[in-house]
Every structure is written in structure tokens, then in C-alpha cells.
Amino acid sequence: MKYETSHGITLPKIGFGTWRIGGKSSPDPKLDEASLTALHTALEIGYTHFDTAEYYAGGHCEELVGRAIRESGKKREEVFITTKVSPEHLSYKDVLKACDGSLRRLKMDYIDLYLIHWPPRSLSKLDEAFPALNKLVREGLVKHLGVSNFNLKWLKRAQELSETPILTNQIPYRLPDKSYVANGVIEYCQQNDILVTAYSPVKFRSLRVNSTLNQIAEAHAATPFQIALAWLVMQPRVITIPMSFNPQHIKENFEAVKIKLTDKEMSQLADEW
């Protein structure tokens, strides 16, 4: 595995996303068996970064993530847990309550990385949220803070309000969607020691595969999806969190980090989409 280090924290280039684990916006117990199998598979393969949120499956996803880690026998310090507070919970009291709920569902003493999931309707809500977020860090309930889906204006305001460095901005970044390249967020993060966490990097295998992607995949004896992941993780300050229920895909995603694309291939993928 390759890693990125930011502000003294080292994270694997490829982690495991958990959207749809245990359900979508509400719990779906029928998915529990498949969800736990996927989580156990990821842990056995060697994933150490797991990304979840209080919104995922109405909190049930966090329960399953915590359960799978306990059942794996992994020590708490061997895994890195990211979870997120929803934008409707950004008052001072609600942030503290939301974090407590996530900790209870995970059955953990602390969260490694706590993100604001989406920007709230008003920028002023960040002024309410960050005193609580900073308090959580001071008390050791949260180790690091970050944001998700923030544009430059919101990201810079979060930096101003946070007592500790913003570790990441988690954004949709994939072939061919490079909207956060166009709006300047990715360049800003790379220049200011903020990790870019690319979510939905192959959009649930719905990635549009063209001849260029196919040719590069064939040259590396890889799948087009692995090439799309390799394109992301070869970029500085970029990590990603693909998700799959399929054990073979979980393994292929993890192994994509081993692929070394040439400068020409990187340019082809960036320029031809």
C-alpha cells in the first residue's frame, strides 16, 4: 500500500467507503449479511481506513462498521475511522450530540477524523459548529477535523474557524468528473497540505469506459476500474475510498495502488475525458 502524510497523519492511498452498507438513507436489515461480508473481506485484505457517516443507513452503517472491526480482532489503533456530522446537526449542542451518537453506534472511544458532511445552507452555521468541533478535539473524542463537498469559500472559512489543521476535503473526483479541478479546490488543497479524499471514484462500476482507458488497462493487465483508481492515487495529496459488495472488486480496488502509470498515460486520461 502507498500512503499520504499530512500534518503528521499517514493514511493509505485507498480506503473503504461504506455508502450502501446496511442500507441507504435508512436501515435495511436485509443487507446486513452482505454488508458484514464486505466489511470482513476488506479487513482481511488489508484495508485500514473506513469511511462512514451518521447519515448512512440512518446510523446503522456505523453500527456495522464497528461490529465488523470488533469481530475481526483488530486493535482500535490499527484502523482509522472517518465519520461525518450531517448539515442539519451543526448547532453547538447538535454537533456534540451527533458525535456522541456516532461513538455509541461505533462502540468506540474516539473518532479519528470527523467531517462536516455537506455545507449547511448558511455560512454562519460554521460559526456555530466549530466551537463544538474544536471542543471535541480538545477532549480527545475526535482526533482530526475535515470537511466534505466544500468549495473554496467554505473551505477557507473552515480553516479560519478550526483550531487544528483541516485534514481533508472529501469530494466527488473521478474520471470524467473533474469539476473540483475547474473550481480550484484540488489545486488549493495540494498547495495547502489538505488531503483530497475522492469519493465514488468509479461510481459503482458505472464508469464510462472509452478506448483510451481500455488500451491503458490492457497495457497494465488491469481492469479499466483499476486504472481509474490508479489515476487518482498517483496524484499528490489525493486518496480515495471505493466501495463494493463484491469480494473480487474489493480486492481489485485495493491492488490498484500497485499500478504505476506513465506520465503520458496520466496526461492521456486527464486530457481525453
Supply the residues annotated as catalytic.
Answer: 56
Other Cβ atoms less than 10 A from the Cβ of 125: the count is 16
Find the angle CA(149)-CA(174)-CA(271) to the nearest 5 degrees.
125
112 in Cβ contact with 82 (< 8 Å) = yes
32 in Cβ contact with 58 (< 8 Å) = no
Q: What number of CA atoms fall less than 13 Å from residue 122's CA on the CB side? A: 8
Find the angle CA(110)-CA(115)-CA(119) to the nearest 5 degrees.
155
The reply to whether omega before 176 is within 30° of 0 (cis) is: yes
232 in Cβ contact with 270 (< 8 Å) = no
Other Cβ atoms less than 10 A from the Cβ of 116: the count is 28
- How many whole angstroms separate alpha carbon 17 and alpha carbon 221? 25
Q: Which residues of 5-23 are buried (b: 16+ CB within 10 A; e: fewer)?
A: ebeebebbbbbbbbbbbbb
Cβ burial, residue 218 (10 Å; 0-12/13-18/19+): exposed
